[in-house]
Each structure stands twice: as structure tokens, then as C-alpha cells.
Amino acid sequence: MRLDKYLAEMGAGTRKEIGKAVRAGRVTVNGQASKNAAMQVTAEDDVRLDGALIAYETFVYYMLNKPAGVISATEDARERTVLDLISERQRKGLFPVGRLDKDTEGLLLITNDGALAHRLLSPKHHVDKVYYARLDGPVGEAEKALFAQGLKVDDTLTALPADLEILTPATEVRVTIREGKFHQVKRMFEAVGREVLYLQRLSMGPLILDESLPKGGYRRLTEEEESAIMNV
């Protein structure tokens, strides 16, 4: 592909910024400065901007700490989306893996790897998702047993067995579900007469929310995290 396209896809800047950098001789290909933005390069070439290696990666993986008030979509005419929070956005084709409600916070994986997303979301795989929830009243052993049995939520949803861990006070819980139906956690609590006042996703499979990420903050997955999710 063209050198300027390669750099733009790797998030090295806008086409205009990249054009300038190339003309200024700040870009090298295999050790030689290249002032030709149309030069053909491949993923095997050593491409550098100001001496820093810009490796060609096909897939990227970000952990986002989703704040309330943004929707889990790629674009929307009226609402802010989770992708509006990713500034390294020259990369095309990013999307959130699954959905969190607009008012739900916490862990959301953003990637351009469709096959991985498919595996993580497939009902066949039963990837554990752990949520922290604050409720409008306490729950106890009865609710725990109902969740553990596989709760009939309504005519359209009987949940798979879920773990309910009751925290202190008993209006706070950690719940582990193995599927991801629409408003699943809220509907499960509604079925036992409780309203979810606050919901935060803490983990998805082996991926655990990095508590040091501020709300709305994101970072690349570490190599360990990347290889852990590849093995799901």
C-alpha cells in the first residue's frame, strides 16, 4: 500500500500531517528517508516516523472504562458513542464488543477484530461477565438461590444459572452471568422485585477492568491480556 496510507492507518496523523512529515524527510523506510508519499510499502518494511518504529498491526484491542451517558454504537446522529472517546481513531473499522446500556459503566472491549468479537459474544461460548450492581433494596439467600437455578425472567428469557454474591450492605452485589441478553442484569433483578440503580461491568472472560483507568479512559490491552482473550 502507499506509504501515506500505511501511516494513516496506523494512526500516525491525518493525511495532511503525514504528507508534511514525509516531505520534510521525517519518515524512513528500511533506513532510508523517503520523501515519496506514494511509495509502496508492506507490513514487512521497517517504517519509522522521527525514528520511532510504526509497526503495521492488522488488529488493535483497547480496554475502555465506559462512562454513563454514551451509547455502545459506532456512530449516532444525536448521541455520543463509545468510539467518540477513542482519539486514536484514524484506524477504521473499530467497534465495541457487545453492548452496555447508556447508563451502564465499566469494561468495554473496542477492537476491529470481528472473529474475536464473534467468539466472545457467541452464546455457545458462555463467557463469564461480572457486574457490580447497586439495588433499590436488599437481596438475600432467596434471590441467590433463584439466580443459581436459572431464573425465568419473562416469556422471552430464562437466564442461565448465575452467581449472585451479596456484598455489604446487601443492596450491593456482584453478579456473574454467562450470556448477554438485552438488559439482562436489570431484567433479572426486576424479576425478583428489585431495581438496579447503578450497574458497572467488572470483567468479561479473562479481561478485568483496570481500576486505574478514569471513566471515559482507555488503553491498549497488554500482551498478556491479548493472549488471554485469544484463548477464550
Q: Using CB under 6 A, which of the segments 10-18, 107-115, 146-154, 184-192 binds ligand URA?
A: 184-192
Which stretches does DSSP call E strand in the chain?
27-29, 32-33, 47-49, 52-53, 61-66, 95-96, 105-111, 129-135, 152-154, 157-158, 163-166, 172-177, 196-204, 207-208, 218-220
Our finding on whether 135 is near ligand URA (CB under 6 A) is no
Determine how β-strand 105-111 pairs with β-strand 196-204. Answer: parallel
Which of 29, 121 has the CB closer to ligand URA?
A: 121
Q: Which of 174, 185, 100, 180 is nearest to 132 (CA)?
A: 174
Of 144-183, binders to ligand URA (CB under 6 A) are: 183
Measured from the Cβ of residue 122, the count of other Cβ atoms closer than 10 Å reads 11
Which of 18, 194 has the CB closer to ligand URA?
A: 194
Q: Which residue of 104, 144, 153, 221 would you call a contact of ligand URA, by CB under 6 A?
A: 104
Which of 76, 88 has the CB closer to ligand URA?
A: 76
Q: Beta partners for 63?
A: 109, 219
CB of 177 to ligand URA, least distance (A): 7
CB of 188 to ligand URA, least distance (A): 8
| 76 in active site | no
Contact code string over 209-228 relative to ligand URA, x by CB under 6 A: --------------------
CA distances (Å), 157 to each of 89, 179, 191, 208, in order? Answer: 37, 11, 11, 27
Q: Which residue among the candidates 101, 103, 128, 210 is catalytic per the annotation?
A: 101
Which of 65, 184 has the CB closer to ligand URA?
A: 184
- What DSSP character marks residue 85? G
Binding residues for ligand URA (CB under 6 A): 100-101, 104, 183-186, 199
Task: Give the residue numbers marked as catalytic.
Answer: 101
